[in-house]
Amino acid sequence: MKYPYGKKEVRLVSTGWLAARLQENEIMILDVQPNIHDYVQEHIPGAIYLNEGLFRSYTGRSPAAWVEPVIIESILANAGICNDVPVVIYTGIGAYKKWGDGLEQTMVAYTLTRYGHNQVYLLDGGLDKWKEEGRPLSRNLKKQGHHCSGFFCAGITS
């Protein structure tokens, strides 16, 4: 199997940049708030929920080992994420649980770049800034926006 090379560059995008592209369906938006109930309460329109804990499992004596690339491929493909579609990741202080430290988006961004995605972006200010600016929120749980029915090819990059 051929693995793509990951450049490991993650860039910030502004809330204005993302708002201007919500209707274009050319990006995937990932909500990685710490709790699924926070996503259900409110999220950026078109975002899908992805829990960062899916990328780790207990192995022997290590409580946080990376899962195998084949599992990463399955998780990301089921979420509709392909290697060649830009991904914007955000988190925030959840409306339901009222906590979050922002580490979720770092973990997911690192995971995507580690396993070969080359177009990973973090929403500068996250959901909190989005809400402060009065931008639209959604409770729609139906997958919207860009998603692939294809395959994510995962390989650990250097």
DSSP letter string over 90-112?
E--S-TTT----SHHHHHHHHHH
Query: For the sheet containing 28-31, what is the strand order?
Result: 10-13, 120-123, 87-90, 28-31, 48-49
pTM, full prediction: 0.83
Q: What percent of the chain has pLDDT over 70?
A: 85
Please check the confidence at residue 133 and state whether its pLDDT lies above 90. Answer: yes
The per-residue pLDDT for 98 is 72
Answer yes or no: is pLDDT of 3 > 60: no
Fold classification of 10-132 (topology level):
Oxidized Rhodanese; domain 1 (3.40.250)
Residue 63 scores a pLDDT above 50: yes
- The confidence score (pLDDT) of residue 96 equals 72
**pLDDT averaged over the chain?**
82
pLDDT at 156 over 80: no
User: What 8-state DSSP symbol labels residue 52?
Assistant: G
Task: Compute the average pLDDT of residues 52-74.
Answer: 82
pLDDT at 13 over 60: yes
Residue 10's pLDDT is 87
Two tokens at 124?
Answer: 């500068």
Query: What does the pLDDT read at residue 4?
Result: 41
Contact 39, 31 (CB under 8 A): yes
For residue 146, is pLDDT > 90? no
Region 8-23: mean pLDDT is: 89
